[in-house]
Amino acid sequence: MKYLATAAVAALLTATTAMADGHSVVRMGTEGAYAPWNFLNDAGEVDGFERELGDELCARAELTCEWVTNEWDSIIPNLVSGNYDTIIAGMSITDERDEVIDFTQAYTPADPSSYLALSADTEVEGGVIAAQTGTIQAAFIAEQGWTVVEFATPEETIAAVRNGEADAVLADKSFLLGAMDGSDELVMLEREESIGGGVGMGVRESDADLKAAFDAAITSMKEDGSLNALIVKWEVASTFE
């Protein structure tokens, strides 16, 4: 028993494979539940705007990338403890998050958020609004002093409006448009909120090289227009000038 334990500890401490240099593989962390930004396709693989964008960025930066999904709730803690190397999950750049992690430059411009409700004359001010936990939308509603009900996944925020638990849901317009698709009970309200500062990729604060590599790749995609083409293809946001 004692030998077994010693052997196990020894194996744990020395287990290693051939090469182990820095970022020979960059692990890309995403949520996989926020179409059209990122979602799992029928084959169970990560798909969407950010999948295509991320693969292109990795190709331009000459990095080998691997995709990993993680719950939205714990997506930042798992980045800083090193379970993956980037967050590419439709995350808006905010000062609050910037204190904990670093962001690359934005790969989509700052866009307003929209409401989805059961009827077009829903009054959102002072109402009960659903939002995903830890999003800029949830923070915004709380600031206004309205009632916010938070859910762990985007799917549940929509379900809350359908079953009347919330009057409306506040989220990125592109996600709500996708969720409305094929359903005639939900309508988008005219009111929009200008919150957030564009969506960027999150990296650890100590990972300056990786940040620089992705910044350069994003700049090159902006310059040759391929980034705008991707944004249009997936209808995720407005395009860059």
Partner 1 sequence: MSCYLTTGKHMGFYWSFLTVLSLLAITAPLSLSFGFGGAVAARSRIAPLAWFGKGYIAIVRGVPDIAFFLFFVIALDQGIEYLRHQVLCPDWPDAIRQGNDFLVCPEAKMPLGNAPQWLHETYGFFLAVFTFAIVFGAFAANVLFGAMRAVPKAQLETAEAYGMTRRQTFWRIIVPQMWVYALPGLGNLWMVLIKATPLLFLLGVEDVVYWARELGGTKTPRFTDYPHGDWRMWYFLVLLIFYLAFTRVSEIVLDRLMRRLTRGQATAAGEAQRKAAA
Binding site for partner 1 (CB under 8 A): 12-17, 19-25, 27, 32-33, 35-36, 39-45, 47-48, 64, 66-68, 70-71, 74, 77-78, 80-83, 85, 100-101, 153, 155, 158-159, 162, 178-179, 181-183, 204-206
- 129 three-state secondary structure: strand
Q: Which residue lies nearer to partner 1 by CB, 206 or 239?
A: 206
Q: Please, what is the minimum distance in Å from the beta carbon of residue 227 to partner 1?
A: 21
Cβ closer to partner 1: 52 or 205? 205
CB nearer partner 1, residue 56 or residue 73: 73
Q: How far is the CB of 96 from partner 1 (least distance, A)?
A: 13
- Provide the minimum distance between the beta carbon of 66 and partner 1 in the complex, in angstroms, as a whole number: 6
d(CA 211, CA 205) in angstroms, rounded, equals 9
Cβ of residue 39: shortest distance to partner 1, in angstroms? 6
Give the per-residue SS3 of 62-94: CCCEEEEECCCCCHHHHHHCCCCCEECCCCECC
User: What is the side-by-side order of every strand in the sheet holding 202-203?
Assistant: 65-69, 26-30, 86-87, 202-203, 102-103
Torsion of CA 92, 168, 126, 131, to 10 degrees: -30
Nearest approach, Cβ of residue 84 and partner 1 (Å):
9
Specify the residue, 209 or 224, whose C-beta has the smaller distance to partner 1: 209
Residue 229 sits at the vertex; the CA angle it makes with 51 and 236, to the nearest 5 degrees, is 60
